[in-house]
Amino acid sequence: MKKGKVLINNKHFKDILICIMWPATINYGSGILARNIGRDMWVCGIISVLSVLPFIVIITRIGQNFPGKTIVEYSRELLGRVIGKALGLLLAIYFFLSASSSISMYVHHLTGFLLPQTPFLVVTLLHVFIICYLVWEGPEVIARISVFAFAMAIIFYLLVFAASLTEINIDRITPIFDTGVISVFKASLDTDAFIGFLPIIIAMLLPIVNDQRKALGAAVSGLFIGGFFFILYFVVELMVMGPQVVAMMRIASMDFVRAIQITQYLHRFESFMVALWYWSIMIQEGILIYCSLESFMQTTGIKKKSPFIIITFGLMLIASTYYMGHNDVVFLRLREHVWKYFSLPIDFGVPILLFLALGVKKIIINNKN
């Protein structure tokens, strides 16, 4: 473990954000959206990216008022000690459960398609070991790997595009706003349930970003590039399979790969795609667990990261992932019908709450002056 102040540069910061935007969204998100809104799922993606943007601006501006402090640290200053600690604990749990959900999705990829006879727990155990190792190494290492993961993501999308070209039919994504503008906006909340945590993650990573002045630009470009990735996937998936087939699938992204090929000599490339996709989902999980651990340590006042904490977190992660994901029917119901009611109030409510608290604080200070 590195000692001293850890810093990541703005490019690393952007790459991390890109990597946490798209892997889970294309995985379970596309099927959920297709069932909810059909061919307009890609429009939901655009709306969702645009709706996350103001929250990123808000949270970055708040963070710049508290240099070197994470959301957990400055929420105590803004909301008071008790509410601040409660919020810190809530965020630790939220990041932790989001990581469990993300790991479940990864394991379902493997056990559902490539390793159907391997028990869920075995893949979970091995994967959590890697995630714990990443978290032990810290955000700097995660950030460096994210550069590689971003490159892998580009190859992933080039392959997807090349393999889909012969099957693309633009008619499958029209008409736009088929079931009405309001229902498309409502359905975009389903996408928010996958990408809405971006502002809070930014609030956790901001103190370690090297150039604070350009942090907002990096965050926004991360949002747009990551958003472009999953929206492109939605569009191509729809243009190849149509909304009915996407809606039928549980993990539509993998079933989509079953429907495309790059020439007849590279027609079964599910394993390639998982290998390329893996790097980004690993970054997502690594960052979520890092944020959870940091939130927990800052809330409880633990100063030093120790092997004991990492191992405890790892064991808890295995247990929670197992209970959350080993039954894929329960997991799908959780992600499709329940998760958004838990995640969206935190994703959007916390930045608004802190923004209001900062505003009130500034008014009070101005009045005092």
Partner 1 sequence: MRKIAALLILIPSLLLTGCWNAREINELGFVLSIGLDKTEDGFKVTAQMASPETFSKTQSGSGGSQKKPFLIVSSTGKTIFEAIRNMAAISSRRIFWAHIKVIIISEDLARSNTLEIFDFFSRNPELRLRTLIAVTPEEAGEIIEVIPEMEKDPALYLEKIIENESLTGKSYSVMIKDFLEDYLDPNVGPVTSRIVLDKSKEKPVIKTSGAYVFDGYKVSASLNEKETRGLLWIKNKMKDSIMVVYCPEDNKPVTLEIKSSKSSYKSSLNNGIPHFIINVKADASITEQACLTDFNDPEKLNELSKTLEKDITKDIQSTITTAKELNIDFPGLSRIMHRQHKNEWHQVSSKWENIFKDTEVTINAKVNIQHVSLAKPLEPINVQ
Residues facing residue 266 across a β-bridge? 262
Per-residue binding string, partner 1, 201-220, x by CB under 8 A, is: --------------------
- Residue 330, classed as helix, strand or coil, is helix
Task: Confirm or reject binding of residue 283 to partner 1 (CB under 8 A).
Answer: no
Binding segment toward partner 1, per CB under 8 A, in 123-131, 194-202, 211-219, 274-282: 123-131
Give how many residues touch partner 1 by CB under 8 A: 35
Q: Which is nearer to partner 1, 126 or 155 (CB)?
A: 126
117 binds partner 1 (CB under 8 A): yes
State the minimum distance, in angstroms, from the CB of residue 183 to partner 1: 12
Structure tokens at 348: 């959007």
Using rule CB under 8 A, residue 277 touches partner 1: no
Footprint of partner 1 on 66-105 (CB under 8 A): none
Should residue 307 be labelled a site residue for partner 1 when binding is judged by CB under 8 A? yes
Asked whether position 116 contacts partner 1 by CB under 8 A, the answer is yes
> What phi and psi, each to the nearest 5 degrees, are found at residue 314?
-60, -45
Spatial distance between the Cα atoms of 125 and 335, rounded to a whole number of angstroms: 22
Q: According to the binding rule CB under 8 A, does residue 309 interact with partner 1? A: no
CB of 313 to partner 1, least distance (A): 14
Distance CA 266, CA 260 (A): 10
Q: Does residue 112 belong to the site contacting partner 1 (CB under 8 A)? A: yes
Q: Nearest Cα to 208, choosing from 84, 91, 63, 92?
A: 63
Please tell me the distance from the alpha carbon of residue 165 to that of residue 232, in angstroms, as a whole number: 13
Strand partners, 262: 266
Burial of residue 7, with CB atoms counted within 10 A of its CB: 0-12 exposed, 13-18 middle, 19 or more buried: middle
Nearer to partner 1, 115 or 155 (CB): 115
Q: Does 16 bind partner 1 (CB under 8 A)?
A: no
Stretch of 81-89, 106-114, 273-281, 294-302 lying at the interface with partner 1 (CB under 8 A): 106-114
Judged by beta carbon, residue 85 or residue 108, the one nearer partner 1 is 108
- Region of 69 (left: φ > 0; alpha: ψ -120 to 50; beta: rest) is beta
State yes or no: residue 304 binds partner 1 (CB under 8 A).
no
Cβ contacts of 82 within 8 Å, gap of 6 or more: none
SS3 call for 334: helix
Distances (CA, A) of 8 to 116, 144, 289: 39, 9, 17
DSSP state for residue 172 in the 8-state scheme: G
Contact between 242 and partner 1 by CB under 8 A: the answer reads: yes
Q: Rounded to the nearest whole angstrom, what is the least distance from the CB of residue 325 to partner 1 in the complex?
A: 17
List residues binding partner 1 (CB under 8 A). Answer: 112-119, 122, 125-126, 129, 133, 136, 171, 174-175, 178, 240-242, 244-245, 247-248, 254-255, 258-261, 267-268, 307, 311
